[in-house]
């Protein structure tokens, strides 16, 4: 928040601003995995869990452009996530920008209940979904986290929550406290909302990507009727498969043994091949730039280095 300008009267002295929260540390778990291209595969699973909360789903249904501009919406969301982890001094400002953006998101859900995007319980749930999804996806796409890495990941996720303006009182503060909270949300709060249905559907219209050179855009537009059906099936496969099984069950999303075997084969290929890629292909641009800057000791990079160096989770 910008400090309030003092009114008339005696000068109260300098206005103090609370220090910005620290981003996740250089060399931490998020530093290793957030900008890795494998993270793109699990983001839709977290999004489905978010909009399974009736208030969040209603807000997205009423206010988001995900139907008309899904690619632009996804690109903006991804850039925001990258700034939380790799943005350094920009991380806290991005958190403030998001809160300003969400101030006007309010309305009534499908059951006639009032909602506001910044209601602490709603805002915290949106953030909380990333932890169980990342933990589950890592078992397929990389090496499963050790207990120490899992605890560090959660501690870093709390740091990101503070960047987003989420108070500690609104988030479980330990892994042990998180799981009862998470299971209660699955049992008592979540439902298969209209937006959940749309995000896992394979027969909904999706416009082709609008970015890139004109020849590429024209080619995609011509081929899109052929490309969309298989892409939609792959999207559903990864969205449902990389969602934790208890969440999948809570939402009534079917998952067969055959699909599980296919996901394991896919995961084996991904976790074998991606670590072999050079950094310029393995990491997204903002993450790549931040990692390069950290190696050269550039000022202004996010946070302090994690104790003991990087906790790699390739």
**pLDDT per residue over 198-243, tens digit each?**
999 999 999 999 888 999 999 999 999 999 999 999 999 999 999 9
Tell me the average pLDDT across 266-293: 96
* 313 vs 231, higher pLDDT: 231
Burial of 26 (0-12, 13-18, 19+ CB in 10 A): buried
Residue 266: what pLDDT?
98
Residue 267: what pLDDT?
97
User: What's the whole-model pTM score?
Assistant: 0.87
Judge whether 29 and 153 are in contact, CB under 8 Å. Answer: yes
Average pLDDT, the chain: 90
pLDDT > 60? residue 9: no
Q: pLDDT digits over 146-181, tens only?
A: 999 999 999 999 999 999 999 999 999 999 999 999
Residue 304: what pLDDT?
55
Question: Which residues are registered as beta bridge partners of 36?
Answer: 283
Residue 298: what pLDDT?
64
pLDDT > 60? residue 268: yes
Q: What percent of the chain is modeled with pLDDT above 90?
A: 83
Q: Provide the pairing of β-strand 114-116 with 106-108.
A: antiparallel
Tell me the average pLDDT across 294-298: 82
* 46 vs 313, higher pLDDT: 46
């Amino acid at each position: 928040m910008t400090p309030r300008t003092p009114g008339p009267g005696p000068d109260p002295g300098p206005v103090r601003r609370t220090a910005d929260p620290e981003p996740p540390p250089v060399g931490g778990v998020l530093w290793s995995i957030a900008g890795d291209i494998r993270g793109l595969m699990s983001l839709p699973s977290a999004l489905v869990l978010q909009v399974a909360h009736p208030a969040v789903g209603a807000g997205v249904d009423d206010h988001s452009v995900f139907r008309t501009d899904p690619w632009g919406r996804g690109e903006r969301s991804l850039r925001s996530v990258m700034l939380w982890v790799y943005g350094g001094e920009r991380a806290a400002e991005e958190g403030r920008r998001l809160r300003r953006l969400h101030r006007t998101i309010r309305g009534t859900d499908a059951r006639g209940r009032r909602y506001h995007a910044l209601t602490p319980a709603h805002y915290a749930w949106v953030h909380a979904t990333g932890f169980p999804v990342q933990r589950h996806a890592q078992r397929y796409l990389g090496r499963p986290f050790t207990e120490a890495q899992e605890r560090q990941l959660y501690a870093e996720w709390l740091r990101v929550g503070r960047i987003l303006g989420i108070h500690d009182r609104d988030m479980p503060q330990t892994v042990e406290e998180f799981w009862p909270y998470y299971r209660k949300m699955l049992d008592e709060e979540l439902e298969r909302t209209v937006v959940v249905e749309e995000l896992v559907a394979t027969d909904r219209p999706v416009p082709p990507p609008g970015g890139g050179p004109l020849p590429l855009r024209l080619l995609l537009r011509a081929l899109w009727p052929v490309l969309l059906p298989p892409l939609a099936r792959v999207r559903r496969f990864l969205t449902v498969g990389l969602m934790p099984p208890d969440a999948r069950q809570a939402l009534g999303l079917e998952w067969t043994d055959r699909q599980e075997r296919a996901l394991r084969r896919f995961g084996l290929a991904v976790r074998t091949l991606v670590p072999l890629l050079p950094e310029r292909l393995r990491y997204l641009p903002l993450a790549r730039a931040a990692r390069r800057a950290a190696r050269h000791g550039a000022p202004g990079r996010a946070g302090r280095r994690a104790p003991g160096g990087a906790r790699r989770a390739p």
